[in-house]
Structure 1
């Protein structure tokens, strides 16, 4: 075995160890999502199946995450009806033209102390030279839900 082969082998082994079990599971879920998406026939069928998959994933969440995810789902649908619900790495997400704009990540998914609501770079939230793209949610108040609604509406404007 050459030095290059040994180095490549060591790099591969150490890189695999950098991912947590939760992160590897999320990547596997994403691969399943992509395969399922490729098999669907019509756009309407895909949209209906995607929303059903999001609602099913939300229903599987623990109580506090489920309540927040249900509320966020309603807030996003109300404030940005152009966004299509879909799973993204096993998490509820909302896309425009196939590109994820925002997403909810349950605390349970990655054994975190809070859930996260975040935006990808396709969201139109640019403000100056720095703006927030992720929010920690230990709980979701009425004021938080209203703020998320404003941000989601701005993200798709």
Structure 2
């Protein structure tokens, strides 16, 4: 596009295209599930399987994040979202774990969507870099997800 601010745009990266394909597959799979209980059980299995596939450093953090989220915000339901473990309220993603490997990033990320009730004045963080999940980090994640789930 001539005259645009970024004339070097080359389209989506391979990782972004893969995430979009995963999301489409997740949507199709969810639509085929029978009952709500079946959906929840299968969604949990999908999340745990996705975590198990991660490289060790991401997997260890994702397992801890999963444990902290499910313990501190039981109303949030695990589900895959663009191929990432996420936690939803009434089907809408509140928070998610993005492995460093997912988009070849320097660190993993714990992110929150706008549904999360983390508002703190006119500006607040919605994503947190994770390099290790210590006891202190677990405590902070617990506080965040309790607030986010409302």
Query: TM-score normalised by the shorter chain: which range applies?
Result: over 0.9
Q: Deviations over 1:37-89 (max 9, x none)?
A: 11111000000000000000000000010000000000000000000000000
CA shift, 1:18, in A, is 2.1
Q: CA RMSD in A?
A: 1.2
TM-score, L = length of structure 2: 0.93
Report the number of matched residues: 144
**C-alpha separation between the residues in 2 aligned to 1:156 and 1:71?**
18
Q: 1:141 Cα shift?
A: 1.5
Q: Which residue does the alignment assign to 2:4? A: none
Work out whether 1:67 is the aligned partner of 2:23: no
Q: In structure 2, how many angstroms separate the alpha carbons of the residues matched to 1:134 and 1:109?
A: 15
In the alignment, which of 125, 144, 148 is matched to residue 151 of structure 1? Answer: 144
Q: Does 1:142 align with 2:135?
A: yes
SS for the counterpart of 1:109 is: coil
- Please give the TM-score of this superposition, normalised by the length of structure 1: 0.89
Q: Which runs of 5+ in 2 are unaligned?
A: 2-7
More helix by share: 1
Distance 1:156 1:138 in 2: 24
Q: Distance in 2 between matches of 1:144 and 1:138?
A: 10
Q: Which has the larger radius of gyration?
A: 1
Matches within 5 A, 1:6-155: 17-155=10-148
